Structures are given as C-alpha cells and as structure tokens.
Structure 1
Amino acid sequence: MDKHILTLDKGTSCTAWNHCGLRLAAGLNDGTLSIYDSADAASSVFNCTSRVKVQEGSILKVVWVPPEFGDAIACIGACGTLSLWEEVAEDTEGNQWKLRKSFERNTSQVLDAQFGGCHTSLKLVAAFADGQVKIYELLDMLDLEKWQLQAEFQNVVDVVSKFGNASCLSASISWNPLKSEVQQAVFVLGFSSNMPSLNSPKVWEYDQDHQRWLPVAELSMPEDKSDEEVYAVAWAPNIGRPYELIAVATQKGIGLWHIGLNPDADGRLSVNQVSMLHGHDGQVWQMEWDMSGMTLATTGTDGVVRLWQANLNGVWHEQAVLAPAS
C-alpha cells in the first residue's frame, strides 16, 4: 500500500533531498525556503520544521552543501541571484537559517550551481545564461562566508577564444561523486543554448600543477555538435569499474558514455558512447544515479520516472516505470 510521507506547501517550485540527514529542502515561488524533517528516528513521515524568506522572487533551484561542511543550502533565484544559507543553533530561538554568502551578481541569470571537490576542499560551480562558468573555492572549512572566485571561463574546448552573444535556456552540472583526496576535482557541464560550441558536455579537470581548469573530454558525436542541446547530465558513482560512466540527456534521448581513466599524451581522456536510451515522451530534464552507479532514474516533461539498468551482457534497458496515480 502506498504511504503518504509529506505534503509540500502550495507554490513549491523545486526540491532537494539531503540523503545524509534524510531532510528535504523546498523552494517556493514567493521566495520562501522550507525544510522538512522526519518526526522521529523511526518515522518515515516528514513535517515542515523551518520556513525562511530568502528572496523576493521565485526560487528556481535549491542545492545542499556536502554534509561534512554543515547544514547549508544554496538557492538560485529567478532574479539572477545565488545565495548560501546555513542552519545555526540560537540559544533562545533554537535552530535558525542565516544568510552566509550572497555571490556577486552577474549580468545574466544563474542556471545551475553544484558543490564538489573532496573532503578537505569545497568548490562551487555556477553556470550562467550568457555561457559563463564561475568556480568558487571555500577558503575556510569552518566558515561558509569565506569564498573566493577561483576561475571564470566558457564551456568550450578552445579555452583561449571567447564566444559572445550566447543565450542559454538551461545548464546542467554534475561532479564526479567519489573522488579521493589524491585525485583532482573534476565535473561535467552542458548547456542548452543558441551556440553549439557551448552545448556539448565537457569534462573539466583542475590542473594542480598549472593552477587552471582544462577540458579533458567532450561527450558528443561529431555529427551532433551542430544542433544538439543538452538538458541534463549525471555522473555515476564508480565503485570499481575500469571507466567512468556519465549520462547525457538531449533531444535525441539519453546517451550513456564511458570515459577512460588514463589520459593520453595531450591530457585527454578517451570517450565512447555505449548506449542511447529512449522511452520518455518529451524532454528529460532530471537524472539521478543510485549510490552504486548501477541504476539511473530519469524524469521530464511527461511526468513519468523511468529506471534504467544494464543486464549481464552490458545492454541497457528500462527496468521500471513509475507513473502518477492520476
């Protein structure tokens, strides 16, 4: 029997789970951030425990900070803002959400932002509607107010050239989820824009020796680079595969890519598209891997969640379909 676990506030525009603490954050159209917690340790029923007004306009996206850095959430606003809020304990009023950082305004809208790095370093990647990418680094692990701009570039292989007049409708960022302290920070980014050079997903890795970010792989077939807009990307956890696995959603379907682990003489990683998944009626705008990196959940404009897995021969297929009751 289906079990009702929570009721979201009217006007909820986005949500994000904190899987470590089993908490849900929800952004509302009126600029309110709502937090839902389970009633007790043994309960699967969630209640709203906090509501805080974080901006005047609608919240487009909420993103939890990795749990080792505290209970904090980044909010992307429809007005172009990117702000960071932290839950702190007050002696008289209990836990309260406080503004820790308002990142400087760009001339265009923030489309996506994601935290990554490793356990001893925290970075924030933000993608903007003009095609710009900004990377911020936390200077003090114990103080979420202290960030610095580490890099700014565009999502193109030719990192020297600048491509102007870009108009991006959406962007999707996904960090490599299980990087050890000895490995470099790396993420994948794709755009849906009027400029093909920005759209195809690029894997960006931090070159510690030269203190810069470099594109080490491009996930696009040569015949698709001229017109393929990217709606979502998702990097799978790797618990022993001899390659990385990344899902890319475009108008053609969901492409699954194998990324080599060892760079060539030019620092580039090998790429191979191993499958193209079809089944959704419309665009796919959200994808999530399970903790093992074996199951991919996807959803989009058709309102249906589809689960995908590979069989023993490595052939990917639809495992289950979750559709609303009405």
Structure 2
Amino acid sequence: MEEKLLVTMEKGAHCSSWNYSGQRMAVGSTDGTLSIYDSDDPTSTSFSCTSQWKAHVGVICKIVWVPPEYGDGIACISGDGTLSVWEEVEEGTQPLTWKLCKLFEFQEIQALDLQFGNYLMGLKLVVAFADGHVKIYELQDPLELKRWQLQAEFQNVMDFLARSGKPSCVSASIAWNPQKPQSQRAAFVLGFNSDLPQFNSSKIWEFDETHQRWQPVAELALPGDEGDQVHALAWAPNIGRPYEVVAVATCKGIAIWHVGLNADVDGRLSLKKVALLSGHDGEVWQLDWDMSGMTLATVGSDRMVRLWQSNLNGVWDEQASIESN
C-alpha cells in the first residue's frame, strides 16, 4: 500500500486530535501553541495550517474536539494546570477566527484526561485529575460553549466508605459510551495509572436519573487484577450486540470485556473477560475502535500499530501490524 503525506507539523508538536466529521486536525505544541490544519480544497488529500495561536503558557498535553452538534470547538489540557475550551466563530466581515470560550483553572492539581459526552440532557465534560478525582461539567446553553456548570465530583473507587489516602496519578484514560444520545443513559469508563491500587482499575460510571447522581456499576478487573495500572481504554460502538465491548490496556496486555446492558438488583452490570491480547513489546499507549466496533487498533511504545478482530467463534487474533516511523 502506497503511503501519502497528509500533514507536515512544525517542530515542537506534542499532541494532536483528528476531527472525523470535519476532516480537520488540531495540533498542540510544547510552547503552548495550538494549530488547526484543513484540507486545501474539498477534493484534496493534503492539509495546511489555517489557524495558529498561543493558547497556553505551558505544553499542551491533550486535545479533544467538541461534538459537531455544538459547532467547531476544541478543549485542551495544558501543563500549566489549566483546561481551555475554544470555538471557531465568524464576527462581522472578519474571517473565521478562534476565541477562548472558557478557561478552567485547577490551582495546583493537574488535569490528566478529558472527554465529551453527548446525551439527551445535553453536553457533558468529564475531567480526570492527578489526585484521583473526577469532575463532571454540563453545558448550560447549547449555543454557548462558555456556560459550564460543575455537576458532580467524586473519586474513582467502588466503595466510597472504604476509600483512603491520596493517590499520585501519572495518567488517566476516559471513554464515554458511544451509543446514540436517545438510546441510553449517560455512562463512561475511567481508569488510572496511580500508586494506590483501589483507584486504578477501570470502572463504569452511569448517571442515575432517579437519584440525580453518578454511581459505579461495574469494575473491569478480575480479583487478581484490581490494582493493575491502566494505560489506555476504549469503548466500542454497538451495532446490535446484546452486550457492550470495552478494551482495557494494562501491564498484562489488552483485556477485552463484554458488559451486560441491564443492571441486576444491586445496580451492577454483568461482566465477562473474553480475551487478553498480547503482542506489543512494552506499554500500550492508545486504543481505538473502528465505526462498526469490530476492529480494534492499538499502538504502543514499541512503535507498532496492530489491528485485532475476533472470528465467528469469539476468538481474538492479530490481523495486521504496521511499524510506525
């Protein structure tokens, strides 16, 4: 297969995020600069930088695009301890420009990961922090990306009464349930890489409409795996399966979990670990499902991209591998 260069990033690029709906890319740099790359024309497969501005003082660590229903916007985490939301707007006769909508300042606590979730009750933003806390914000006005309100704050533990200590977290990974907004309640899965075992294992959090609170409904770990540090995770799209599929990467490999759709009398979802994928030499950095939720792409410190699928008997195998440059 012939390779073709799409984007040439400037020196200092640290992270990036692809906008699948708009065919755009946002790039964050070590000096706090944000850059937007767009295709030169609708029929072109090459991209060039169309906007660039100084967004933060410190390095930009993470970028996530706002769901397209809410316009052209991005949120990013900086090493200076802040999180910002930006929107592309047109003002009068001036060309399109990016403006700051909201700046979240978290004092000395570093944000590690963030993800947007779009549900019937509106847009939500979940942020995981280096002290093991989780904050969930909700957008108050769908037409204004500046109006966010804190909805909930909690720690990533199953038993609130048994929690103890303050963890030091190196990284966190969040994935919302990618179901359509009208088909299911808001839910996301979260895991940490920390020095306290009870915070690490991936847990599914679901919003209880009756009591208006977030509650843990599943812990994706067997008894011997509960303290394993989580490096990455991904929730697969569901095209008709009677269960959800979630992939979790730890030091033991990439676990594939089947999660039941309906909770039991105790409010917990049924779980089954169906596979443990091993192939990467070193830590797995990122997991991504295709749009059908049938193929899992993984990339790690061995600079290899691997593609995984299960056969009709439910057996998972590596289908292809690509060495990155």
Q: TM-score, normalised by structure 1?
A: 0.97
Specify the SS of the correspondent of 1:265: coil
1:173 counterpart letter in structure 2: I
Deviations 1:124-154 (A, max 9, x none): 0000000010000001011111110000000
Q: Tell me, yes or no, if the aligned pair for 1:127 and 1:134 is still in contact at 8 Å.
A: yes
Q: Is residue 20 of structure 1 aligned with residue 21 of structure 2?
A: yes
Q: Is residue 286 of structure 1 aligned with residue 286 of structure 2?
A: yes
What is residue 202 of structure 2 aligned with on the other side? 201
Alpha-carbon distance between aligned partners in 1 of 2:267 and 2:11, rounded to the nearest angstrom: 49
Displacement after TM superposition at 1:164 (Å)? 2.9
Q: Tell me, yes or no, if the aligned pair for 1:179 and 1:185 is still in contact at 8 Å.
A: no
What is residue 276 of structure 2 aligned with on the other side? 276
Alpha-carbon distance between aligned partners in 2 of 1:196 and 1:161, rounded to the nearest angstrom: 13
- Runs of 4 or more consecutive aligned structure 1 residues displaced over 6 Å after TM superposition: none
Q: More displaced, 274-283 or 310-319?
A: 310-319
What is residue 61 of structure 2 aligned with on the other side? 60
Displacement after TM superposition at 1:52 (Å)? 1.2
Q: TM-score, normalised by structure 2?
A: 0.97
Structure 1 spans left out of the alignment, 5+ residues: none
What is residue 173 of structure 1 aligned with on the other side? 174
Deviations 1:83-112 (A, max 9, x none): 101111133431111000011314311000
Q: Tell me, yes or no, if the aligned pair for 1:88 and 1:96 is still in contact at 8 Å.
A: yes
Q: Tell me, yes or no, if the aligned pair for 2:234 and 2:247 is still in contact at 8 Å.
A: yes
Alpha-carbon distance between aligned partners in 2 of 1:312 and 1:233, rounded to the nearest angstrom: 24
Deviations 1:48-77 (A, max 9, x none): 111011011100010000000111100100
1:279 counterpart letter in structure 2: G
Alpha-carbon distance between aligned partners in 2 of 1:31 and 1:46, rounded to the nearest angstrom: 21
What is residue 257 of structure 1 aligned with on the other side? 257
Alpha-carbon distance between aligned partners in 2 of 1:106 and 1:147, rounded to the nearest angstrom: 18
Written as runs of structure 1 = structure 2, the 5 A alignment for 1:1-326 is 1-118=2-119, 121-226=122-227, 228-324=228-324, 326=325
Q: Tell me, yes or no, if the aligned pair for 1:120 and 1:181 is still in contact at 8 Å.
A: no
Displacement after TM superposition at 1:120 (Å)? 5.2
Q: Compute the RMSD of aligned alpha carbons.
A: 1.2
Alpha-carbon distance between aligned partners in 1 of 2:31 and 2:244, rounded to the nearest angstrom: 40
1:242 counterpart letter in structure 2: P
Alpha-carbon distance between aligned partners in 2 of 1:15 and 1:317, rounded to the nearest angstrom: 29
Specify the SS of the correspondent of 2:151: strand
Alpha-carbon distance between aligned partners in 2 of 1:126 and 1:164, rounded to the nearest angstrom: 20
Alpha-carbon distance between aligned partners in 2 of 1:278 and 1:253, rounded to the nearest angstrom: 5
Structure 2 spans left out of the alignment, 5+ residues: none
Deviations 1:245-300 (A, max 9, x none): 00000000000000001110011000110000011111001111000001111111
Specify the SS of the correspondent of 1:90: coil
